[in-house]
Amino acid sequence: MSRSDVPRTHYGRDRVCSRCGTRVAQKAETCFFCGATLDSAPRRQFRIPWADLFLFAAIAGVLILWWVRGLDVPEELLASPSRSQAAAAQATPVAELLALVAEDLPTATPTLPPTLTPTPTLVDLTTPTPTPAAPMRYKVERGDTVIAIAQKFNSTVKDIIQTNELSADGRLSVGQELIIPVAGPTGGGVTPTPTPEGGAYMYTVKAGDTISAIAARYGSRVDWILTANQMSATDVLRIGQALLVPRSAETPTPEPTPTMPAVTLTPTPEPVLDAPSLLSPSKGSILTGEREILLSWTSIGILEPDEYYVVTLKAGDDITPTAVYWTKSTTWRLPAEYRGTTRAGVDFTWYVQVRHGSPDAPGEMASPPSERSRFTWQ
**How confident is the model at residue 298, as a pLDDT?**
92
On whether residue 224 sits in a domain, the answer given is yes
How many CA atoms does the CB half-sphere of 76 hold within 13 Å?
0
> What pLDDT score was predicted for residue 118?
47
User: Which pLDDT belongs to residue 161?
Assistant: 85
268 falls within a domain: no
Asked if the structure places residue 80 within a domain, the reply is no
Q: Is the pLDDT of residue 326 over 80?
A: yes
In the predicted model, is pLDDT for residue 140 greater than 80?
A: yes
At 73 the pLDDT is: 52
Residue 16 within any structural domain of the chain: no
**Element (DSSP H or E) covering residue 364:** strand 362-365
Q: Is 314 within a domain?
A: yes
What distance in Å separates the CA atoms of residue 229 and residue 223, rounded to the nearest whole number? 10
Q: How many domains does the chain have?
A: 3
Q: What is the pLDDT of residues 348-373, one digit of tens each?
A: 899 999 999 988 888 888 999 999 99
Kindly state whether residues 286 and 357 are assigned to the same domain.
yes
Residue 268: which pLDDT band, with cuts at 50, 70 and 90?
low
Beta-bridge mates of residue 346: 377
Cβ-Cβ contacts under 8 Å for 295 (sequence gap 6 or more): 278, 280, 281, 311, 331, 332, 333, 334, 350
Query: Percent of the chain at pLDDT above 70?
Result: 66
pLDDT recorded at residue 311: 93
Region 216-220: what's the mean pLDDT?
84
Q: What would the pLDDT profile of 126-137 be if each residue is shown by its tens digit?
A: 445 455 455 678
Which residues neighbour 82 within 8 Å (Cβ) at sequence distance 6 or greater? none
| C-alpha torsion 120→129→219→209, nearest 10 | -80
The answer to whether the CB of 342 falls within 8 A of the CB of 248 is no
Whether 158 is in a domain gets the answer yes
Query: pTM for this one?
Result: 0.32
Determine which of 29-33, 60-64, 189-193, 302-306 has the lowest per-residue pLDDT on average.
189-193
CATH of the domain at 331: 2.60.40.10
| DSSP reduced 3-state for 245 | strand
Q: How far is 125 from 122, CA to CA, in rounded Å?
A: 9
pLDDT beyond 90 at 331: yes
- Report which of residues 169 and 320 the model is more confident about: 320
Confidence of residue 188 (pLDDT cuts 50, 70, 90): very low
> Does residue 215 share a domain with residue 142?
no
The reply to whether 218 and 302 lie within a common domain is no
**How many of the other CB atoms lie within 10 Å of CB of 23?**
14
Residue/partner pairs of 84-90 with CB below 8 Å, 24 or more apart: none
Q: Is the pLDDT of residue 95 over 70?
A: no
pLDDT of residue 192: 38
Supply the pLDDT for residue 228: 87
Alpha-carbon span 333 to 165, nearest angstrom: 68
Name the residue range of residue 153's domain.
136-180
